[in-house]
Amino acid sequence: MPVTVRAFQNDTVDALCWRHYGRTAGVTEAVLEANPGLADYGPILPQGLAVQMPEAQTAAPQRQMVNLWD
């Protein structure tokens, strides 16, 4: 079920995604698709704008660990 969040002053879509999901990879695009016209506001969203945050479908990308001290 989608959740509605409100933009703070000087928020971006990436900032909303980071605050809600804890990541931006793979979810920023989903938020833009769930909110037609959101990109028309430009990079800085108006304060108080309601944005629908869909359920995250994809898992966070895993970074490969490299051991430099073998």
> Model confidence over 31-67: pLDDT tens digits?
999 999 999 999 999 999 999 999 876 555 566 778 8
Distance CA 14, CA 29 (A): 10
For residue 35, what pLDDT is reported? Answer: 96
For the structural domain made of 3-53, what CATH number should be given? 3.10.350
Rounded-to-integer distance, Cα 36 and Cα 64, Å: 35
What is residue 61's predicted lDDT score, i.e. its pLDDT? Answer: 57
Q: Is the pTM of this model over 0.75?
A: yes
Contacts of 6 (CB under 8 A, 6+ apart): 48, 49, 50, 51
Q: What is the pLDDT of residue 62?
A: 62
Residue 17, pLDDT > 90, answer yes
